[in-house]
Amino acid sequence: MNQRLGFIGIVIEDPAKAPEINNILSRHGQIIAGRMGIPRIHHNEAGISVITLIVQGTTDELGALTGQLGKVGGVQVRSALSSK
């Protein structure tokens, strides 16, 4: 299968979900080329964390990662992948 390059943006609105997110990311570490995180940005008196991933993998691998992240409550996930 073809490898695709892209990014995944994750907004964690519920700080209690951070360990679950980190667990998912660890299981998919082979497709994560880079990670940047900003912990607990105070917005409207709520602690919101933001993680940006640079990823490279097949569409199946990337879909599995975003699908698992999207099932976690209190988490928003968006991604963009190269067309080639």
- Say whether pLDDT at 33 is over 90: yes
Total residue count of the chain as it appears in this document? 84
The secondary element (H helix, E strand) that includes residue 29 is none
Strand order in the sheet with 46-57: 32-43, 46-57, 4-12, 75-81
40-67 pLDDT, tens digit each: 766 566 678 899 999 999 999 999 999 9
Please tell me the CATH code under which domain 4-77 is placed.
3.30.70.1150
Residue 49: other Cβ atoms inside 10 A: 19
pTM higher than the cut 0.85: yes
